[in-house]
Amino acid sequence: MSSPEYLYLIAKPVGRETELIRAESLALTGTWPDELGIAVSNRFTDTARGAYVLANVEILLSVSSKITLDLLYQQICQLGLQGHNFCVRIIKRPKKIPLSFDQFEVANQIGVRIDGPANLSKPEMEFWLIITPRRFWFGLKRSISDKQWTHFNKRPHTTSSSLPSRIARAMVNLTVNPGDRLLDPCCGTGTILLEGANMGLQVFGCDLNLKMKEATRKNLAHFGLSGAVVLADARQISSTTFGHPFNAIVTDLPYGISLVKDEERDRQILANIRMLAPRATFVSVRDLSQDLENLGYQIETIVQVPKHDRFVRQVFVTRSVSG
Ligand SMILES: C[S@@+](CC[C@H](N)C(=O)[O-])C[C@H]1O[C@@H](n2cnc3c(N)ncnc32)[C@H](O)[C@@H]1O
**DSSP state letters, 298-316:** EEEEEEEEEEETTEEEEEE
Identify the domain boundary among 97, 127, 144.
Answer: 144
User: Ligand 1 centre and the CA of 179: distance in Å?
Assistant: 25
3-state secondary structure at position 190 = coil
Burial 251-267 (b: 16+ CB within 10 A, else e): bbbbeeeeeeeeeebbb
Q: How confident is the model at residue 323 (pLDDT cuts 50, 70, 90)?
A: very low
Closest ligand 1 atom number to CA of residue 161: 1
Closest ligand 1 atom number to CA of residue 212: 27
Strand partners, 315: 283, 303
- pLDDT > 80? residue 258: no
Please report, for residues 177, 191, 201, 246, the alpha-carbon distance to residue 180 in angstroms, rounded to integers and kept in the order given: 6, 17, 6, 7
Q: Is 106 in the same domain as 76?
A: yes
Inter-residue contact 229 to 194 (CB < 8 Å) = no
Q: What is the pLDDT of residue 235?
A: 97
User: Ligand 1 centre and the CA of 188: distance in Å?
Assistant: 5
3-state secondary structure at position 113 = coil
Inter-residue contact 142 to 203 (CB < 8 Å) = no
Closest ligand 1 atom number to CA of residue 215: 9
Average pLDDT over residues 152-173: 95
Average pLDDT over residues 299-321: 90
Q: Is 12 in the same domain as 84?
A: yes
CA distance 213 to 231: 6
User: Ligand 1 centre and the CA of 216: distance in Å?
Assistant: 11
Q: Whose CA is nearest to atom 13 of ligand 1?
A: 186
Domain assignment present for 46: yes
Domain assignment present for 1: no
Residue 260 CB contacts under 8 Å (≥ 6 apart), including other chains: none
User: Ligand 1 centre and the CA of 207: distance in Å?
Assistant: 6
Q: How many residues does the chain have?
A: 323
Q: Whose CA is nearest to atom 12 of ligand 1?
A: 186
CATH number of the domain at 276, please.
Answer: 3.40.50.150
Q: Which residue has the higher pLDDT, 273 or 261?
A: 273
Closest ligand 1 atom number to CA of residue 191: 8
User: Ligand 1 centre and the CA of 254: distance in Å?
Assistant: 5
Residue 252 Cβ inside 6 Å of ligand 1? The answer reads: yes
Dihedral, 226, 230, 234, 239 alpha carbons, nearest 10 = -70
Q: Is 75 in the same domain as 114?
A: yes
Q: Is 168 in the same domain as 79?
A: no
Could you report the per-residue pLDDT of 115-154, keeping only the tens digit for each? 999 999 999 999 999 999 999 999 999 999 999 999 999 9
Q: Is 277 in the same domain as 170?
A: yes
What is the domain extent for residue 19? Answer: 6-144
The region of weakest confidence among 169-178, 196-205, 218-227, 314-323 is 314-323
Q: Is 114 in the same domain as 89?
A: yes
Could you report the per-residue pLDDT of 193-244, keeping only the tens digit for each? 999 999 999 999 999 999 999 999 999 999 999 999 999 999 999 988 998 8
The total number of structural domains in the chain stands at 2
User: Ligand 1 centre and the CA of 227: distance in Å?
Assistant: 17
- pLDDT > 50? residue 270: yes
Q: Is 62 in the same domain as 134?
A: yes
3-state secondary structure at position 237 = coil
Q: Whose CA is nearest to atom 17 of ligand 1?
A: 208
Q: Is 96 in the same domain as 196?
A: no
Residue 235 Cβ inside 6 Å of ligand 1? The answer reads: yes
Identify the domain boundary among 107, 122, 144.
Answer: 144
CATH number of the domain at 22, please.
Answer: 3.30.2130.30
CB-side exposure of 271: number of CA atoms within 13 Å? 12
Q: Is 131 in the same domain as 252?
A: no
3-state secondary structure at position 64 = strand
- pLDDT > 90? residue 320: no
CA distance 242 to 252: 20
Q: What is the pLDDT of residue 130?
A: 98
CA distance 120 to 115: 15
Q: Is 139 in the same domain as 190?
A: no
- pLDDT > 70? residue 259: no
Residue 83 CB contacts under 8 Å (≥ 6 apart), including other chains: 114, 115, 116, 117, 118, 125, 127
Residue 215 Cβ inside 6 Å of ligand 1? The answer reads: no
Q: How confident is the model at residue 260 (pLDDT cuts 50, 70, 90)?
A: low
Q: How confident is the model at residue 261 (pLDDT cuts 50, 70, 90)?
A: low
- pLDDT > 70? residue 310: yes
Residue type, 221: A
The region of weakest confidence among 33-42, 261-270, 278-287 is 261-270
| Strands (DSSP E) found in 208-247 | 228-231
The region of weakest confidence among 15-19, 265-269, 319-323 is 319-323
Q: Is 111 in the same domain as 253?
A: no
Residue 271 Cβ inside 6 Å of ligand 1? The answer reads: no
Q: How confident is the model at residue 94 (pLDDT cuts 50, 70, 90)?
A: very high
Q: What is the pLDDT of residue 143?
A: 98
CA distance 206 to 246: 14
Residue 172 Cβ inside 6 Å of ligand 1? The answer reads: no
Please give the mean pLDDT across all residues of the chain.
Answer: 94
Identify the domain boundary among 144, 159, 191.
Answer: 144
The region of weakest confidence among 100-104, 148-152, 319-323 is 319-323
- By the 10 Å C-beta count (0-12 exposed, 13-18 middle, 19+ buried), 70 is classed as exposed
Q: Is 174 in the same domain as 221?
A: yes
Find the largest Cα–Cα distance for the chain: 70
Closest ligand 1 atom number to CA of residue 268: 19
* Nearest residue to 157 (alpha-carbon basis) of 219, 103, 109: 219
